[in-house]
Structure 1
């Protein structure tokens, strides 16, 4: 793994030649040409493989990537603790953006800026740069006589080509879920002399293309699990998982029957087809049937143990304490800037350990002890693995987010604005004296996602949810540590209606994948953003009175969501210079 990370940061010169990123002069730049990269005499394929590393590097590491915030701070799950008038997630969530001022940290169309991660790597930001560089690789790798291959007869060159095709399909997926239909370039690499007034392709054509690419390459990729230095590479399971993810997006209400512009094929399908849910369910089931993946027994260690079998596709990161120092609670000697303030809405979404929602009188929830610090009935263990709250254990001490407490001193120091801090992705430092380096890999796809994709899609095609839907939620809740209960239902009501199960599945997505860049897109694809984002974001003001606390609700941000925000605007410059580039509605 460390070997790959070093290669990403030091062997990007080849991708830079044609992708626009910084040149690293490991050998004279004037000697670096396409012939040098794709050398017919290079049987080891060293330079070509370096170019492929550069394409992988365009996959985003989501940790604090949006102007030093998590993307979920632009959803109803969190807000940025940072102040000022140019916070990208705040601009997005308050609808203070336009087609010519969309924050560069989340504008992956134009690619005029470098990485917005805390330490810029010099990798091009645009997914279009990824598509272009993948095409360069796809078109040229055939001349490199690299040795070796897979047991099924796939040569190494064919394997690498399929990896580049996977990455290209992934970049298209990221573009489509933001913009709807985008131009499909095929294998063509455009240069400055080409006519570039390309139109957008229909949403349906884009979905079909991504799916067909995944089908075409899956048998010429590595088989999972892949460990150690190669665990970042695209596998058969990753291609199949991307197909399932794409088909679920296509089946979701925003694109399937509730298109924001009903007759516009660029913004979604112009009809509803229940078979789209069936296709999504089958694609997820195909991944399950590989028997290559499983849920990691310990929820927190999905993000810490690099070779666990829940991971399907990752963007590797360095071993560091960056997550803690950026997001940990303030007031500890080990450091913490508290960038991310989870909302009360997210906190309320976590049930009790018996699986019952906090609103259920039978749950055991106590308003006087909302985080179950003293109560015998605890919260869903994913709550304590995701959220720092007043009284949470940390660094051989407790987090104090009461007014005037160590982690909410109410000084000019940046601190939580909601009464909560983000805990997810951090190391096991509850009983430690300080932080120590750990993996900061970003998990792009993991097996829990497949289970929820299957459950969601199956629920939409069944008149009422059957065992195949319940079983996926049982598996996730059992792994989380929720009690099975006398009926073995893990707190879920038996005999739910389709609508009741839909709500349960949507909540499971929320609590299982908090801060993993799901909620932000989920509320869009479910087309509920105009409801949940037009309510104030809230937090809590905790007041200490002797040994007792009172918990007072507070409004921390008034968010705004308009219908046009379901899709991103095509950047103004693209529309202005290309008469065939149609803008998304409302922008």
Structure 2
């Protein structure tokens, strides 16, 4: 029997905190500068080297990146949602400049992404080159080399999502070159095709999610490869990249779009990739119904279940109460750091599946939190929101949250108190009792994204077919939306392609709130100039003398999105100065 070696993936924050930031992605990192002979002559050190490469896969879902990676231009305290119209944080640089439109190529919040992701790409190449001489079994050499190869594709995908086309460095470890390199970006098409091809190539060397040993949970699987490929092909087919280029410059246009003209076949490729994941049979929407418990119990429990059938790629982290400490109000031991806006609150529909703007929805502005989509109750803390009683398995009518006037000032600027009248509870254990050791991981890619990606692609190809409707039914059924007497979960039987497109985008918005998607989605849809360039509202709640409530929307903050340039992050200034052929993104 071949010897099995388990690799436990951890965050490694102490290692990350020690990393010295460099000016160029070609520079060595601390963990990669260790004597290679020492590292790759010891099995434990070899695997720890790879473990450190895993450590940055959760950048978009991690709530406080300041302890995760130090920015060269300031502390990136906020979560990804706080860089959108969905949430307001207590901004410092560089995110403060982002929200006011004052960012430059010298201080954009993604500058640290560029250097960090390229350092990890270099580490992947280093590992693949050196692991063959390490004291590991042949099986483990093949598998871990495949993991490193996937991680390289993943970090390229992260770069492409922010910057558009980037430089593909192949298998070379650049520090070993004695001659200068041509520091130049590949085309966007080359980057997307490379990521897709790498995912296909490496999947054959990795186990599926169902074949993976229990102790290996969190390591790369073949399903992750297909999931990442699907994500990036949906990306490439989206309006920003598929016929919607933000520039006509013949040198810049290939860097920010897949082609100069709209190509429906990009949606077909995306649909096929999503269908491939669905056909694996390894993943499903997580359901764990508990009759009589909280609304949307399955949706809530999903994020508190460390290993589940929906997580395609989890970000591994030890037991913690990080989210609760960051997002809960002070009264519950939190800091109220990230406060959802009315913009996000209004995106959640009603329990009957209809938007609050629909006259048939039953929405009552005098009682704005009644009969809402159950995902609302499991994502947002609002005035008079109940707390789940873990003993009775019911929402407690006595233990409630209070956010009325006096706790929120008219200008919404009280330090460490909500700026909007709301707090986040997404992915949190918000029940009564002890939650000091919450066992969970964070979702990087989950199956719901694949379902919605398939629905989006098929709607763009064929309009709202029965298959597209079925994808939405699955998502809404798990969410706890009422099916209605017609079993359509609030969806009209006569939707147009444009209507269905709007509904699918809204499903993304509420399903993935606080999971790091909205920043990227509004850009790929080319809607950010509308959704991210409007006042960010809050709700002023007043308790009247008769103990009733009155509600008044307020402007908590005004954000600025400068189109078209902010559709892409700028290549860091320090990198642009290194090469005359490393072109900057349009507008920067």
Match of 2:391 in 1: none
Deviation at 1:109, TM superposition (A): 4.5
Deviation, structure 1 residue 404: 1.6
Aligned equivalents of 1:186, 1:179: Cα separation in 2: 19
Number of corresponding residues? 541
2:199 corresponding residue in structure 1: 214
Alpha carbons 1:91, 1:97 under 8 Å: kept: yes
CA contact (8 A) 2:408 2:418 kept: no
Match of 1:116 in 2: none
* Preserved contact between residue 312 and residue 445 of structure 1 (Cα < 8 Å): yes
TM-aligned CA distance change 1:410 to 1:93, over 3 Å:
closer
Higher deviation after alignment, 420-429 or 225-234: 225-234
2:144 to 147, 155, 160: 160
Query: Which of 175, 178, 182 is equivalent to 2:159?
Result: 175
Correspondence for 2:542: 543
Residue from 97, 101, 126 that aligns with 1:95:
101
Alpha carbons of structure 1 residues 557 and 273: separation in structure 2 relative to 1, 3 Å: same
| Residues 373-522 of structure 1 aligned to structure 2 (within 5 Å) | 378-394=371-387, 397-405=399-407, 412-429=414-431, 432-462=432-462, 464-522=463-521
Instruction: Give the match for residue 266 of structure 1.
Output: 255
SS in structure 2 of the partner of residue 438 of structure 1? coil
Return the TM-score normalized by structure 1. 0.87
Matched, 1:584 2:568: no
2:175 aligned with 1:191: yes
**1:121 alignment partner in structure 2:** none
Q: Could you give the per-residue CA deviations for residues 495-532 of structure 1, whole angstroms, max 9, x where no partner exists?
A: 21100000000000000000111111000000000111
1:151 corresponding residue in structure 2: none
Task: Give the CA deviation at 1:207.
Answer: 0.6
Q: Using the alignment, how far apart are the partners of 1:234 and 1:318 within structure 2?
A: 18
Greater mean deviation of Cα atoms: 437-446 or 407-416: 407-416
Describe the shift of the 1:250–1:243 C-alpha distance in structure 2 as closer, same or farther (beyond 3 A).
Answer: same
| Aligned partner (choices 4, 8, 11) of residue 4 of structure 1 | 8
Number of the residue aligned with 1:203: 188
Partner of 1:117: none
Contact 2:94-2:107 within 8 A present in 1 as well = no
* 8 Å CA contact 1:316, 1:441 repeated in 2: yes
What CA deviation, in whole Å up to 9, does each residue of 1:384-430 have, x standing for no partner? 0000000111376211111024999989541111111111011141x
What is the distance in 2 between the residues matched to 1:243 and 1:51?
25
**Following TM superposition, by how much is the alpha carbon of 1:110 offset from its aligned partner in structure 2, in angstroms?**
4.6
> Match for residue 279 of structure 1?
269
Q: Relative to 1, partners in 2 of residues 1:470 and 1:544: Cα closer, same or farther, differing over 3 Å?
A: same
* 1:322-341 paired onto structure 2 within 5 Å: 322-330=322-330, 332=331, 334-341=332-339
Shift of 1:442: 2.0
The answer to whether the 8 A contact 2:407-2:417 is kept is no
Superposition deviation, residue 435 in structure 1: 3.8
> Any conservation in 2 of the 1:12–1:53 contact (CA below 8 Å)?
no
Secondary structure in 1 matching 2:204: helix
CA distance in 2 between partners of 1:164 and 1:23 (Å): 15
CA 270–490 in structure 1, closer or farther in 2 if over 3 Å, else same: same
Q: Is the 1:14–1:37 Cα contact (8 Å) retained in structure 2?
A: no
TM-score, length-normalised on structure 2?
Answer: 0.87
* Kept after mapping to 1: 8 A contact 2:27/2:175: no
CA contact (8 A) 2:11 2:55 kept: no
Task: Write the distance in 2 (CA, Å) between the matches of 1:350 and 1:46.
Answer: 48
User: Quick one: distance in 2 between partners of 1:286 and 1:110?
Assistant: 31
After superposition, the Cα gap between the structure-2 partners of 1:227 and 1:565, relative to the gap in structure 1 and judged at 3 Å, is farther
Tell me, which stretches of 5 or more residues in structure 2 are unaligned? 1-5, 66-75, 288-297, 389-395
Any conservation in 1 of the 2:64–2:79 contact (CA below 8 Å)?
A: yes
**Aligned 8 A contact 1:228 1:307 in 2:** no
In structure 1, the partner of 2:112 is 108
1:167-209, Cα deviation, whole Å (9 max, x unpaired): 0000000101111111110000111744144110000000110
Match of 1:354 in 2: 352
- 1:240 and 2:226 aligned: yes
RMSD value, Cα: 2.6
In 1, the alpha carbon distance for the partners of 2:420 and 2:436 equals: 27
Deviations 1:22-48, CA, capped at 9 Å, x for gaps = 569xxxx9xx52122223xx6xx3322
Q: Residues 327 and 338 of structure 2 are in contact (CA less than 8 Å); yes or no, is this contact kept in structure 1?
A: yes
Q: Could you tell me whether the CA contact under 8 Å between 1:19 and 1:133 is conserved in 2?
A: no
Equivalent residues of 1:11, 1:50 under 8 A apart: no
